[in-house]
Structure 1
Amino acid sequence: MSNEKRVAVITGGASGIGRETSLIFAKKGDRVIVADYNEAGGKETVALIEKNGGEAAFIQVDVSNYESVEALVEQTVLQYGRIDVMFNNAGIGLPTPVAALDWDAYHRVIDVNQHGVAYGIIAASKKMRELGIKGVIINTASVFGFLASAGSFAYHATKGAVIMMSKSAALELAQYDIRVVAVAPGVVDTPIIQGYKDLGMADEMAHKVMGGKLTQPEAVAKTVYLVSLEEAEAINGSVVMADQGYASFK
């Protein structure tokens, strides 16, 4: 990598893990593209970065639409000249018991959580190859890509897919010096968890992790940053657990 500052694109940057990851990358000196459909939240993240002396810009994106994701990558390169890190993090939950599953909600979760990651992998890897950049693509998976939980039928399907897409893409892109890694959080205190709180499931989940508390988004963000570094170059095609032991204790 050259001495030029890295450029990191972070989807879902308006809140939760995405916001905290944006803040950490910027704090460490990277230039950050905060990408989200939520314009107000995304711009608020940019303002927080700039307040702390970092460099960032907001680009609105609909990750469920490939053209929108491709435009995000193109606009990033137009603005900063490169793309070193693509963090495909945007996601939704919409927890519903399987017997009462709403098909529109099901397809919405698939479109955002699964297709959105696929689009990010494809668009970013094409641009990294074109620019000859030794980049890294990081995807938000979940312990629920391995473990079952009530009310999460569609969510489980998407996170299992993210894990296997990450492994498959890593296998193909290694020849171009592009790494692909999945980070699997456990039960994180983000807007997604609110639905589980409403169903009375969040407290039960929290009791199964170290300390008995929901993981804070900043803890996951720190893991994402560490995975992005050149020092982590041996980590490729892996699922890095950021779950405070949830998968082990369950």
Structure 2
Amino acid sequence: MALVTGAGSGIGKAVAILYAKEGAKVVVNDISEKNGQSVVDLIKSEGGEAVFIEADASKEEEVKKLVQKAVEAYGSLDIACNNAGIGGELNLTADYAEENWKKVVDINLNGVFYGCKYELEQMEKNGGGVIVNMASVHGAVAAPMSAAYTSTKHAVVGLTKNIGAEYGQKNIRCNAVGPAYVKTPLIESVDEDGIAQLISKHPMNRLGKPEEVAELVLFLSSNKSSFMTGGYYLVDGGYSAV
């Protein structure tokens, strides 16, 4: 069974769909029941198996119950992709509002920690498992005007490395993925000039596709990456190369 947080749209949706196509039973998590259930319906229409469980990744008790319900639904937790995240306020660091900083940290960092905490607990009971955390290219380089986002994504990379080191002997692998700018509903809300500026940052001269990120997540979730843990892997169209 595979659990995907923030799976109601964008990259999380693509990951959930690909997991299902490869034969996994998928637990689709999101704060939007409408979006999450639509992904479940799509998976089922293509012959896959999935259920929707609503939970807010920033709230520890809800994440704990999410993992419990996921196991109750399918009996075990083999794979987890902690994908839920937000961009947050755009502002200079000194002007960044404290409440907005806390919101980004609660979702992007604490949410991933809560997910890992309870997923690891379950995977130890199983005798193994795989976790893929969604970081960002900004887990490696700055995102000016987005100090909270950059900080949390760097922290997700550090958390992932720690888990890889701590749980490698327990047959649990943990890796992080670093997408650059991907064509998702969030990005599509940016105006034409903004999109052109984002595209120009990528040597491949385009935005990524959610499905391209999902392919890397699938690889890291599979036995094809059986000797890979504690790593951080970019899928960034060359963004970090220049």
Residue pair 2:135, 2:177 contacting (<8 A) in 1 also? yes
For the pair 1:22 / 2:16, whether they are aligned, the reply is yes
- For residues 45 and 136 of structure 2, the distance between their equivalents in structure 1, rounded to whole angstroms, comes to 31
Paired letter, 1:22: A
Which letter maps to 1:158?
T
1:243 to 217, 236, 239: 236
Q: Secondary structure at the match of 1:212?
A: coil
The answer to whether residue 217 in structure 2 is matched with residue 228 in structure 1 is no
What amino acid maps onto 2:5 in structure 1? T
Q: Give the drift of 1:193.
A: 2.8
**RMSD over aligned Cα atoms:** 1.5
Unaligned runs of 5+ in 2: none
Which whole-Å deviations, capped at 9, do the CAs of 1:204-248 have from their partners, x for residues lacking one?
221132431110111101110011101211110000111121111
Distance 1:200 1:97, change over 3 A: farther
Instruction: Give how far 1:70 is off.
Output: 0.9
Q: State the match for 2:42 in structure 1.
A: 48
TM-score, length basis structure 1? 0.92
1:84 matched to 2:40? The reply is no
Q: 1:219 aligns with which of 199, 206, 212?
A: 212
1:9 paired to 2:14: no
Cα separation, 2, equivalents of 1:158 and 1:194? 23
**Counterpart AA for 2:213:** V
- Residue among 28, 39, 56 paired with 2:33: 39
CA displacement, residues 63-100 of structure 1 (integer Å, 9 cap, x when unaligned): 10111111111111111000111100000012311244
Query: Number of residues paired by the alignment?
Result: 241
Q: Give SS of 1:44's match.
A: helix
Q: Tell me if the contact between 1:92 and 1:192 (Cα under 8 Å) persists in the aligned partners.
A: no
* Correspondence 1:147-162 to 2 at 5 A: 147-162=141-156
SS across alignment from 2:23: coil
Residue equivalent to 2:98: 103
Normalised by the length of structure 2, the TM-score is: 0.95
Residue 131 of structure 1 deviates from its aligned partner by 2.4
Structure 2 Cα separation of the partners of residues 69 and 199 of structure 1: 37
